[in-house]
């Protein structure tokens, strides 16, 4: 719900700051309040996207996927060893001579 509200506000700001093709363009110095707000929101959005991209790249740099695969392989090796020991113990319990 909050995301929808934020998107609606952003679209409304962009729609209000859009100029009609019949009106002459304003100079860069004569920006309206909505244009300034829209530019600020765009800047914050771009900065947020760049920050998140940096975080994603740093997480990829940690090679977590390879570490998880190694942990899984080591765990299955250990568990198969203990499962074999348990199987031998159960065999000797049930088929004791």
pTM for the model: 0.38
Quickly tell me which residue has 């020991």 as its tokens.
Answer: 85
Percent of residues, the chain, with pLDDT higher than 70: 71
Q: Which H helix or E strand runs over 35?
A: helix 33-61
Domains of the chain by residue range: 1-18+32-62, 63-97
Q: What are 33-64's pLDDT values in tens digits?
A: 888 888 888 999 888 888 888 887 877 777 77
Q: What is the dihedral of CA 41, 44, 50, 55, to 10 degrees?
A: -130
Q: Is residue 20's pLDDT more than 90?
A: no
């Amino acid at each position: 719900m909050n995301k929808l509200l934020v998107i609606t506000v952003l679209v409304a700001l962009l729609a209000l700051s859009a100029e009609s093709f019949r009106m002459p363009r304003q100079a860069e110095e004569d920006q309206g309040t909505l244009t300034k707000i829209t530019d600020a929101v765009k800047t914050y959005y771009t900065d947020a996207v760049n920050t998140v991209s940096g975080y994603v790249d740093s997480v990829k740099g940690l090679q977590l996927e390879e570490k998880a695969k190694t942990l899984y392989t080591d765990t299955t090796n250990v568990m198969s060893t203990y499962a074999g020991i348990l199987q031998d113990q159960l065999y000797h319990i049930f088929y004791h001579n």
